[in-house]
Amino acid sequence: MTGPIAIARRLLVGVGAVALCLGLLVLFGPPVESAIRWPWDDELLLVAFFTAALLLASVIGPFVLIDDGSQNQNQNQNRNRNQNRGNASPGAPERVPSTPTPGRELERVLDSRWPASLPPVRRRRIRRRLRRAAIRSIVRTSNCSKETARERLERGVWTDDPVAAAFVRAGGGPDSDSSRLRSLVERIRFPRRARRTARAVLSRTEEGEHR
Amino acid sequence: MSRRTSRWSVAFVAAVLTSGVGVLLADPHLVLLSIPAVVFAVYPHLTRPPAATLEIERSIAEQDPAHGQEVEVTVTLRNAGDRTLSDVRVVDGVAPMLSVRSGSARHAAVLGPGTETTFSYTVIAKRGVHRFEPATAVLRDASGGVTLETTLAADTELACRSPIRTLPLGHTARYAGSTATTDSGSGIEFSRIRSYRPGDPPGRIDWNRYARSGELTTVSFREERSRTTVCCLDAREICYRSSGDDSVHAVSYERAAARELLDAASDAGEPVGVAIFGVDFTWLAPATGSHHVATAHRTLEDPETLPIVPPTEWDGTPDDAQARELRTRIGPPTTVLLLSPLLDEFPLETARTLRAEGHSVTVLSPDVTTAGSLGRGVARLRRENRIDALRRAGVPVVDWEPETPLETAIRRGERR
């Protein structure tokens, strides 16, 4: 316990004790108070001391506020650094990093409670996927060729649902020269038609597998 | 990394302001009032900063757990220094694909010199070999004015293996040299006898015949070559899919299966290589030997080539270019074991193309699809359709539900 910190600690305790005694004397002994004269009468020096103190406080103050706010963030960043660089935040160590389930994109359209208005590119993609799923399901459950499955799809004999049959038929999408009104109706009806088609494909496959 | 906190800075600001105003107004009361604030501002500078003298030891209750089994992890923290650590906070580096079922992977303690503290938690074992990360420790001094953040490494692995005895379908070679070729060479099966030519090795001269007839003849045997295998992992963005919250994604299962396939091929003494479709294409040329197998294992565990935490940036080589690179790398007809969850058309097209080019292709597909909604149901159906399309194209598929042992899935696939 003879290090510089220990010496400084003892010295400061002594200074503190002396300061406390002097303070108590100033507070409770009026004669002492009158005996102690303020050492400087120069007002410029007083103002300079105050300005320096105020500047110091103004500089440090914002850092105190900012540092408190960013402390937790820094700790998280340090923890992330221990993980794989450039990868997603692992979050809490108690949990497996979250990854989406297969079919998330379709889920947003088929299982959404609210009507979704999708851009034409996405609608075409979903229609293409459902059409391909329908063809492959027919091939799988009927043990036929792809051409036969495609022909059944075009004739619409693979399902009892006329909406589903029309949805996956070639050219079942909106015409390029269709009117704005038709295009709007198609856009609004799309999720419902896709949902019915998905159900039809799933039930067709289920029936085929049980046969 | 050591840093000074702002806990006592408020006291410093208060001391400066009070004394400044006291001096300005020539009021000794205000100057005296600043003394406690000065004491608090100086206090954190008089306490000893914490030293990184913490040691960690981690033990796992079950050495060979089954998939889904709860395993208790016990962590012991020891202060190896000669000074008290007044504030120790630790977050254990649980392997990314393990989730904590009960207990907590976090702990806080005060540790005197030479003392230790123990905490434990339970994780759920998942298929694969899971390496624990270094634990993160935050140490503070008595005043809380200085924080030291450090990592504590302890080499711990939780291995939930599913060993296989045979390599999957389409792969008839079960031990080195079992692939018969039509070339004559230096095998053990008799092929033909011909007249001796200068340069033939003496060991292949038929000395019995020479003793009988005085004629020098050379015996040829059917040359036996071991088949070259390439484990090809599909770790593109779409493969980082899992069956739900806290579930392991398909790439992790692929890695677990690839490890078993590598070991099986290595045991059989066959040349085996590794290819990974990911942000960029990774290739490890087929070879044999324990050194090569160790390199292959390191490649599978490298977070740069096969990240286990999904990357955030996917601006790498396009899928088609990666498939082209694979085709240019595997020269002669090879057995390709393609590991993919089959969530898009890419593995289907790749398998078909490789097969058309004369390679023997088998697909091993971990199933991470679920039911529960229409969208998920369609995704599951599309995967089943892809499996069917592959089988119709003559590509054997092992449909692997990770709850099932890999060997069982392979045998089931062979029966189809």
Q: Among A101, A195, A202, select the one facing B242 at the smallest CB separation.
A: A101
Q: Is the pLDDT of residue A86 over 50?
A: no
Q: Is the pLDDT of residue A72 over 60?
A: no
For the segment A35-60, the average pLDDT, to the nearest whole number, is 74
**Do B87 and B117 belong to one domain?**
yes
For residue B265, the domain's CATH number is: 3.40.50
ipTM metric = 0.75
For the segment B79-85, the average pLDDT, to the nearest whole number, is 92
Cβ atoms B221, B191 nearer than 8 A: yes
What is the rounded CA–CA span in Å between residue A171 and residue A193?
A: 15
Q: A195: pLDDT confidence band, cut at 50, 70 and 90?
A: very high
Note which residues in 111-170 of chain A have CB less than 8 A from chain B: 111, 129-130, 132-133, 136-137, 139-140
| Residues forming a β-bridge with B184 | B222
Is A133 in contact with B380 (Cβ distance < 8 A)?
A: no
Which backbone phi and psi does B162 adopt, to 5 degrees?
-140, 75
| Residues forming a β-bridge with B158 | B130
Average of per-residue pLDDT values in chain B? 88
Burial A23-43 (b: 16+ CB within 10 A, else e): beebeeeeeeeeeeeeeeeee
Minimal Cα–Cα distance from B374 to chain A, Å? Answer: 6
pLDDT, one tens digit per residue, over B199-258 is 777 777 888 888 888 888 887 665 444 578 999 999 999 999 999 888 999 999 999 999
Highest mean pLDDT among A159-173, A175-189, B119-133: B119-133
For the segment A132-151, the average pLDDT, to the nearest whole number, is 93
Q: A84: pLDDT confidence band, cut at 50, 70 and 90?
A: very low
Note which residues in 242-271 of chain B have CB less than 8 A from chain A: 242-249
Strands B397-400 and B360-366: what pairing?
parallel
**Do B28 and B81 belong to one domain?**
no
Amino acid at A137: S
Any domain includes B189 = yes
The pLDDT value recorded for residue B246 is 86
Q: Which of A152, A160, A118, A121 is nearest to A134 (CA)?
A: A152
**Do B288 and B396 belong to one domain?**
yes
Residues of A in contact with B239 (CB under 8 A): none
**Do B127 and B267 belong to one domain?**
no
**Do B18 and B85 belong to one domain?**
no
The pLDDT value recorded for residue B190 is 55
Q: Is the pLDDT of residue B133 over 60?
A: yes
Q: B27: pLDDT confidence band, cut at 50, 70 and 90?
A: confident
**Do B39 and B64 belong to one domain?**
no
pLDDT, one tens digit per residue, over B330-361 is 978 899 999 999 999 999 999 999 999 999 99
Q: Among B10, B94, B376, select the one facing A102 at the smallest CB separation.
A: B376
Give the range of the structural domain holding residue B122, as residue numbers without chain letter.
54-160
pLDDT, one tens digit per residue, over B158-183 is 999 988 987 875 544 333 344 444 44
Query: Between residues B188 and B366, which one has the greater pLDDT?
Result: B366
Note which residues in 156-215 of chain B have CB less than 8 A from chain A: none
Quick one: CA torsion of A72, A76, A82, A83, rounded to 10 degrees?
Answer: 170
Highest mean pLDDT among A20-29, A177-186, B163-172: A20-29
Q: What tokens does B125 get?
A: 């074992």
**Do B155 and B293 belong to one domain?**
no
Any domain includes B173 = no
For the segment A47-61, the average pLDDT, to the nearest whole number, is 81
The burial of B16, by beta-carbon neighbours within 10 Å (0-12 exposed, 13-18 middle, 19 or more buried), is given as buried
Q: Is the pLDDT of residue B262 over 80?
A: yes
Q: Is the pLDDT of residue A194 over 60?
A: yes
Where along chain A do its domains lie?
4-82, 105-210
Element housing A77 (H / E): helix A43-82
What is the rounded CA–CA span in Å between residue A127 and residue A121?
A: 10
Q: Is the pLDDT of residue A174 over 60?
A: no
Beta-sheet strands, E only, within B262-405: 272-277, 282-287, 335-339, 360-366, 397-400
Query: Between residues B45 and A208, which one has the greater pLDDT?
Result: B45
The pLDDT value recorded for residue A56 is 83
Note which residues in 10-69 of chain A have CB less than 8 A from chain B: 12, 16, 19-20, 23, 26-27, 33, 36, 38, 46-47, 49-50, 52-54, 56-57, 60-61, 63-64, 67-68
Q: Among A82, A84, A205, select the one facing B136 at the smallest CB separation.
A: A82
Angle at A142 between CA A139 and CA A147, to 5 degrees: 45
The pLDDT value recorded for residue A175 is 54
The total number of residues shown for chain B amounts to: 416
Question: Above pLDDT 70, what percent of chain B?
Answer: 92
The pLDDT value recorded for residue B109 is 95
Q: B192: pLDDT confidence band, cut at 50, 70 and 90?
A: low
Q: Is the pLDDT of residue B383 over 70?
A: yes
What is the rounded CA–CA span in Å between residue B325 and residue B332?
A: 15
The pLDDT value recorded for residue B158 is 94
Q: A180: pLDDT confidence band, cut at 50, 70 and 90?
A: confident
The pLDDT value recorded for residue A7 is 83
For the segment B352-378, the average pLDDT, to the nearest whole number, is 93
For the segment B383-404, the average pLDDT, to the nearest whole number, is 94
The burial of B264, by beta-carbon neighbours within 10 Å (0-12 exposed, 13-18 middle, 19 or more buried), is given as buried
The pLDDT value recorded for residue A36 is 58
**Do B362 and B392 belong to one domain?**
yes
Q: Is the pLDDT of residue A71 over 70?
A: no
For the segment B369-376, the average pLDDT, to the nearest whole number, is 92
Number of domains chain B contains: 4
Residues with Cβ within 8 Å of residue A169, at least 6 apart in sequence: A153, A154, A156
Cβ atoms B233, B277 nearer than 8 A: yes
Q: What tokens does A125 get?
A: 């993609």
Q: Which of B4, B8, B16 to mutate to test the interface with A (most CBs of A within 10 A)?
A: B16
**Do B148 and B280 belong to one domain?**
no
For the segment B311-330, the average pLDDT, to the nearest whole number, is 92
Residues of B in contact with A12 (CB under 8 A): 42, 46
The pLDDT value recorded for residue A80 is 42
The pLDDT value recorded for residue A32 is 59
**Do B237 and B383 belong to one domain?**
yes
For residue B63, the domain's CATH number is: 2.60.40.10
Query: Between residues A35 and B283, which one has the greater pLDDT?
Result: B283
**Do B210 and B97 belong to one domain?**
no
Minimal Cα–Cα distance from A103 to chain B, Å? Answer: 5
Q: B134: pLDDT confidence band, cut at 50, 70 and 90?
A: very high
Cβ atoms B119, B103 nearer than 8 A: yes
For the segment B56-67, the average pLDDT, to the nearest whole number, is 93
| Residues forming a β-bridge with B77 | B56, B117
Q: Among A46, A84, A205, select the one facing B309 at the smallest CB separation.
A: A84
For the segment B131-136, the average pLDDT, to the nearest whole number, is 94
**Do B146 and B267 belong to one domain?**
no
Any domain includes B376 = yes
Is B23 in contact with A50 (Cβ distance < 8 A)?
A: yes
